Amino acid sequence: MSEPTEEQKTPVHDSALPADSVPEVWRPTARERDAARASASSRRTFLFKLALGLNGLVGAVFAVPILGYLLGPVLKKKDGYNSWVKLGTVDTFPKGETRLAEYINPVTSPSDGATAKTACWVRRTEDGQFQVFAINCAHLGCPVRWFAQSQLFLCPCHGGAYYADGSRASGPPPRGLFEYEHRVEDDALMIFAGQLPTLSTEACRGKGPLEQNNPASTAQAKDGGSPAASETRRSTWQA
């Protein structure tokens, strides 16, 4: 169809040359004859294999810095990316409300631009307790939105829904919202953050979803282990 991928060797035929430019027959020198005779010797084969082995060795050594460079982002200790980040003073989060907060990721690079920023939901209960949720849906990481009137977090991608305390309400998420570890220091709300929260790179240290710290609301829709457990019954209208 197009260019051949493998070149076929077509020798330049002497006969194609103009007659006057044909040189007299070249006689090989003694040295050339010796070299040709030696070509069958096992010494050269051995030397070639040796050279191949040498290159293999050099390649293996060369692979070390390449792999180290490539795997750099992975070779971080657990929590190596996380550190304590300030979200704002406590009084910027009124009691009984859930508000969007943002912070600059503790690990950044010069070309990050706006993507260095990360958003999170800060919930402050009536009794002053804090909960800080990742913006990312536990299903596939889309940004969940808070609806104060219906007291729900809803995900625009596949319709995952979470209650005010972050526990799973309905939809495809396998668990509740990811929650950041937090503390209040000198009247400032701090969270332990630094990496995109996913099922295996959780926002919080330790394994599994955090215990929801509002047992009153989790009692009505528990998110313990099996997601199906929270469903009271199958409805007729939704597969």
Partner 1 sequence: MAGVKQRGTRLFEWFDRRTGLTEPVTEMAAHPTPASAASWWYVFGSAATVLLALQVITGILLALVYSPSASNAWPSLQYINHNLTLGWYLRAIHGWGSDFMIAIVLIHMAQVFLFGAYKFPRELTWIVGVFLLLFTLGMAFTGQVMRFDQDAYWGLGIGASILSRVPFIGGPLVHLLLGGPIIAGATLSRFFALHVFIIPGMLLGFVGLHIWMVLHLGINEWPMPGRLVRKADYERNYHALTRETGVPFVPDAAWKDAVFAAVIILAVMACAYFFGPFGPTGTPDPTIIQTAPKPDLPFLWIFAVLAYLPPEMETGVLLIAPIVIIGGLLLLPLIAGEGEKHWSRRPVAVLMVTLIAVTLAIFTRLGTQTPWSPIMDAWSADPVPAEYLAHRTPLERRGALVFQEKQCRDCHSLDGVGGRRGPALDAIAARMTEDQIIRQVLQGGGNMPAYGKALSPSETEALTRFLMTLRGHGLPSAVDTSQGLQPQSGTHPVVPATRAPKTP
238 forms part of the interface with partner 1 (CB under 8 A): yes
Quick one: which of 40, 111, 186, 187 contacts partner 1 (CB under 8 A)? 111
Which residue number, 173 or 209, has a Cβ lying nearer to partner 1?
A: 173
Distance CA 159, CA 175 (A): 14
Indicate which single residue of 45, 55, 213, 220 sits in contact with partner 1 (rule: CB under 8 A): 220
- Our finding on whether 141 is near partner 1 (CB under 8 A) is yes
CB 89 within 8 A of CB 101: no
User: Are the CB atoms for 93 and 122 separated by under 8 Å?
Assistant: yes
Scan residues 113-132 and list those touching partner 1 (CB under 8 A). 113-119
Would you say 10 or 29 has its CB closer to partner 1? 10
**Among 93, 163, 180, 192, interactor with partner 1 by CB under 8 A:** 163
Report CA-CA distances (Å) from 214 to 1, 82, 165: 69, 26, 7
Report which DSSP code applies to 201. Answer: S
Judged by CB under 8 A, the residue of 32, 34, 97, 102 near partner 1 is 102
69: left (phi over 0), alpha (psi -120 to 50) or beta: alpha
The pattern of x and - marking residues 58 through 97 that bind partner 1 according to CB under 8 A reads ------------xx-xx-x----x----------------
112 binds partner 1 (CB under 8 A): yes
What lies within 8 Å, CB to CB, of 181 at 6+ separation is: 191, 192, 203, 204, 205
